[in-house]
Amino acid sequence: MSNSRSGRRALAAGGIAAVLASACCLGPLVLIALGISGAWIGNLAALEPYRPLFIGVALIAMFFAWRRIYRPVEQCRPGESCAVPMVRTTHKVIFWGVAVLVLVALVFPYALPLFY
């Protein structure tokens, strides 16, 4: 497993954990806004007890992804993707997109009463 690949996995894990962390609160609101309804939407609230766990996993994964993405170029071996400037920029853009998802997962339950 190369170093750039493990950074990609940490970034993906952070994104998935962020989506799961906000599924209990943000999921029903988004589905209703899209016109999708049904009694099964209430089952998404079953994920609420696991929200702190998902947020913790997201933050840990984001830390490891940040360490991998923002390391100095001098630490990259020739031929690795982290040595290519365009790839580094792409990883940084994706990292900050996932960081926004994690922020939404953290803040949304407190802002939720403003929408209902």
Q: Does this model's pTM top 0.95?
A: no
**1-45 confidence digits (pLDDT tens):** 444 454 677 777 777 777 777 666 666 666 777 777 776 666 666
**52-98 confidence digits (pLDDT tens):** 887 888 888 888 888 888 888 777 777 777 778 888 888 889 889 88
The confidence score (pLDDT) of residue 53 equals: 81
d(CA 53, CA 103): 15
99-to-17, 22, 29, 54, 105 alpha-carbon distances in Å? 11, 13, 21, 14, 10
Assigned token pair, 12:
């993906």
The confidence score (pLDDT) of residue 29 equals: 63
DSSP at 75: G
The share of the chain scoring above pLDDT 90, in percent, equals 2
The confidence score (pLDDT) of residue 57 equals: 81
The confidence score (pLDDT) of residue 13 equals: 78
